[in-house]
Amino acid sequence: MPDIQITKAKANLWSKLGSRATYGMAVLELSKEYEDLVVLTADTSTSAGLDRFRKSCPEKHVEVGIAEQNMVGIAAGLASEGLRVLTSTFAPFQTMRCCEQIRVNLGYMQHPVRMVGLASGVVLGPLGYTHCCVEDLSVMRSIPNITVLSPADCSETAKATAAVLAHDGPVYMRLTGATNSPVVYAEDYDFEIGRAVRLRDGDDVTLIATGMMVHESLRAADLLCEQGIDAAVLDMHTIKPIDRAAIAAACRASRLIVTVEEHNVVGGLGAAVAEVVATLRGAPPQLVLGLPDSFGKPKDYAQILADAGLTAASICEKTRHALQIQ
């Protein structure tokens, strides 16, 4: 399988550029390996970091304009003819505007289109909740046959892009975070769809995080350690199929499971983990941390996360409190 290797220099560069630009760079690099690649955008080639790809490989790029539902239909048709298809647009339009087309053309018909939701979560908070996307994990994982990914940082975005292109089936990949985003992976590692990455060991609590909340959870684990609480951290980059074995192992080793996500607390990572925890005999309690089930007002990205308690300090405090009341 064609892959992208991580180096410290690459990780630092990607971090400065952000996940969208990293995705575009990964597509350009991987396009050399796939003669059958076609990339569709909905007036978003610049936003997806695909300008260099578009200029280098014009025959592999289709600009459909602001017509996202048509984009999914066209993509399904191209995939049915054996082409390797990627679609890229902002997450709320890629998922919710196109939900019926995804359900029928990709989920039901199983055409292997790889969808990329740009700027998911609340990074576009200043533009208001029409451009935020806090429901996509819930929507996409509820459609049969759709694989759902949520990379932890820019390095993992590059690795996941390679895995997505090699995957034989419909996929939704959710990109979060802004430019100058934190680095989780500064060195190369094995990325496998459906297999969580254990980033830190601990015996008291396991923090299971996805997207940009992985780095925040690692920082929270450091704060917990300072207070004598030993916290493990799992990067759950695949929401569907969820890594049931990793969750079961965490339940056996921990007094508390904490899920952390830049997504509505309804239906996302927390719910996916809870569905597994509920099947395990003697499982520990679970604390679900995420965005509230409500529409907020336009605000700065960092402020929205802080208001929702999705900072290292708040994750630490809520985890410590949950352990104390057991």
Bridge partner residues of 313 (DSSP): none
From 29, 68, 216, 275, active-site residue? 68
Q: What type of residue sits at position 152?
A: A
CA-to-CA dists, residue 275 to 109, 198, 242, angstroms: 26, 20, 10
Which strands make up the sheet holding 205-209, listed edge to edge? 197-200, 231-235, 205-209, 256-264, 286-291
CB 157 within 8 A of CB 14: yes
Verify whether residue 68 is a known catalytic residue.
Answer: yes
Partners of 256 in beta bridges: 205
Q: In residues, how long is the chain?
A: 326
Report residue 145 CA to chain centroid gap. 17
Cα(91)–Cα(96) distance, integer angstroms: 8
Strand partners, 148: 172, 240
DSSP SS3 for 175 = coil
* CA angle 192–222–121, rounded 5-degree value: 55
| Inter-residue contact 10 to 155 (CB < 8 Å) | yes
- Alpha-helical (H) ranges within 104-143 are 136-141
Q: Is 209 helix (H, G, I), strand (E, B) or coil?
A: strand
Residue 218 Cα distances to 125, 150, 213, 251, angstroms: 24, 17, 9, 19
Count the neighbouring beta carbons within 10 Å of the beta carbon of residue 154: 33
Question: How far apart (Å, rounded) are the C-alpha atoms in residues 125 and 103?
Answer: 28
The residues near 187 (Cβ < 8 Å, ≥ 6 apart) are 6, 7, 8, 11
**Residues belonging to the active site:** 68
